[in-house]
């Protein structure tokens, strides 16, 4: 009998039968181990804030919160998700380059730790909304620094970007900036340089430079350094010739920096944002082969789910033309004998989640898994394309499988649409 994939003793065949496919399957034990392993190695002064954008499911957020994570959110729904998952307002920060008035108002009404401001125009809005409420808003400045990121798969700063305010522009404002807005208390600095960083020395060097920048800005702009957010961007390995970060090596370089900064600023709150690093390895996207075929001598397995659920697999940012790790989940021990294109049900040639993936000879009905898929899955994908809708999501925790998001059905897809009333339709 072939060896089949399982999660905490639960077999993939039974899970697929119970919950159907396509399916996102998350291993809660992997999330727990990943978080606790980092938390135990990391200097205690550096707090871990979970970036909900990586996987905003409320149960995933609640699990991480139960382990000690705080929350970094970037929309009103993410803010509400974090609160309903049990995260206290003092442990939430809100960032994003295009905040609405309603989102700013919600941050102030919830009294979260800080709004991370990304432009001078946004300071005007925050000050106005705070004035309407008769309160003072706590604001950290997101800075786009002069220096560039090292070792990032996707650069977020250090060059012209919609994120943050350029370091030069802030320094040109001088101490006038802190006093210009009577309903704002500038109290911190946030810098997020990039994501998918897999070089330990790069994380350490970027952090060192961010801490130096925060001290310099606090002094030259004349505001107290109550919070420093060093971003994060810790990556995980997806592709050939990549390896996961060594947590021991990472923290051996990072912790002395944190300790030195803490000694100089004992009251400053220090934050690291992590999303992908905490949840990506826990996830498997499970699809079932509907048909197999050959076309011009190449093998195709047409499955019931594709890029509408897993856009990262088709190629965005640094992922272009490289396959995520994939497996025939019910035949893990069988050797790969031939290349297969793994495709979905969409009417577009772009619906290919794996190109020339080494597999055993595939057949209709079997399960294919795209592994390391716990981050930037369905919520980062066009799930409504061709009206297939959301897949089910399942979290396995303590040996039990929990449905944490129902699969969309036809009524769920059509329920928010309205058929227009043509002239005469309302007549008897």
Q: What letter does residue 274 receive in the DSSP assignment?
A: E
CATH class of the structural domain 281-414: mainly beta
CB atoms within 10 A of CB 175: 12
> Each residue's pLDDT tens digit in the chain (428 positions)?
689 999 999 999 999 999 999 999 999 999 999 999 999 999 999 999 999 999 999 999 999 999 999 999 999 999 999 999 999 999 999 999 999 999 999 999 999 999 999 999 999 999 999 999 999 999 999 999 987 766 555 555 555 577 788 898 998 888 889 889 999 999 999 998 878 899 999 999 999 999 999 999 999 999 999 999 999 889 999 988 899 999 999 999 999 999 999 999 999 999 999 999 999 999 999 999 999 999 999 999 999 999 999 998 876 544 446 899 999 999 999 999 999 999 999 999 889 999 999 999 999 999 999 999 999 999 999 999 999 999 999 999 999 999 999 999 999 999 999 999 878 776 55
Classify residue 320 by burial, with Cβ atoms within 10 Å: 0-12, 13-18, 19+. Answer: exposed
Alpha helices in 90-199 (DSSP H): 101-110, 120-133, 167-173, 176-180
Residue 284: strand, helix, or coil = strand
User: pLDDT by residue (tens digit) across 281-311?
Assistant: 999 999 999 999 999 999 999 999 999 999 9
Residue 235: strand, helix, or coil = coil
One-character DSSP codes across 228-259 = EEEEE-B----STT-----HHHHHHHHHHHHH
Residues with Cβ < 8 Å from 368, sequence gap 6 or more?
A: 286, 287, 288, 289, 301, 303, 326, 327, 328, 329, 342, 362
For 141, list phi and psi in degrees, rounded to 5. Answer: -90, 125
Q: What letter does residue 406 receive in the DSSP assignment?
A: P
Nearest alpha carbon to residue 181 among 115, 128, 226, 109: 128
**Domain topology for 88-274:** TIM Barrel (3.20.20)
Extents of the domains making up the chain: 88-274, 281-414
Is the Cα torsion angle 42, 46, 47, 53 positive or negative in sign?
Answer: negative
């Amino acid at each position: 009998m072939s060896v089949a994939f399982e999660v905490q003793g639960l077999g993939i065949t039974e899970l697929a039968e119970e919950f159907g496919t396509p399916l996102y399957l998350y291993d809660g034990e992997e999330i727990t181990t990943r978080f606790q392993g980092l938390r135990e190695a990391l200097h205690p002064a550096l707090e871990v804030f979970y970036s909900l954008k990586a996987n905003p499911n409320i149960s995933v957020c609640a699990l991480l919160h139960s382990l000690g994570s705080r929350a970094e959110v970037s929309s009103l729904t993410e803010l509400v998700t974090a609160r309903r998952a049990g995260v206290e307002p003092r442990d939430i920060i809100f960032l994003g380059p295009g905040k609405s008035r309603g989102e700013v108002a919600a941050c102030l009404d919830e009294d979260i730790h800080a709004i991370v401001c990304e432009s001078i125009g946004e300071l005007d809005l925050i000050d106005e909304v705070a004035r309407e409420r008769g309160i003072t808003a706590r604001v950290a400045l997101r800075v786009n620094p002069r220096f560039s990121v090292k070792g990032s798969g996707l650069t977020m700063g250090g060059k012209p970007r919609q994120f943050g305010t350029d370091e030069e522009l802030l320094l040109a404002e001088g101490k006038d900036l802190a006093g210009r807005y009577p309903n704002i208390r500038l109290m911190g600095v946030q810098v997020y340089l990039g994501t998918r960083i897999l070089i330990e020395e790069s994380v350490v060097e970027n952090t060192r430079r961010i801490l130096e920048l925060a001290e310099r800005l606090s002094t030259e702009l004349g505001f107290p350094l109550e919070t420093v957010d060093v971003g994060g961007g810790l990556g995980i390995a997806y592709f050939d010739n990549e390896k996961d970060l060594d947590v021991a090596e990472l923290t051996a370089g990072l912790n002395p920096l944190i300790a030195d900064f803490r000694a100089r600023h004992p009251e400053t709150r220090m934050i690291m944002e992590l999303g992908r690093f905490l949840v990506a390895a826990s996830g498997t996207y499970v699809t079932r082969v509907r048909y197999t075929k050959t076309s011009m001598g190449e093998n195709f397995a047409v499955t019931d789910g594709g890029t509408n659920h897993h856009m990262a697999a088709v190629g965005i940012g640094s992922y272009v033309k490289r396959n995520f790790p994939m497996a025939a989940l019910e035949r893990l021990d069988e050797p790969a004998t031939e290349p297969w294109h793994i495709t979905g049900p969409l009417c577009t040639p772009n619906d290919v989640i794996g190109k020339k993936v080494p597999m055993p000879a595939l057949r209709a009905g079997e399960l294919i898994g795209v592994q390391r898929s716990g981050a930037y899955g369905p919520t980062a994908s066009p799930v409504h394309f061709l009206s297939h809708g959301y897949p089910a999501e399942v979290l396995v925790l303590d040996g039990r499988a929990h449905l944490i998001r129902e699969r969309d059905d036809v009524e769920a897809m059509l329920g928010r649409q309205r058929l227009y009333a043509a002239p005469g339709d309302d007549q008897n």
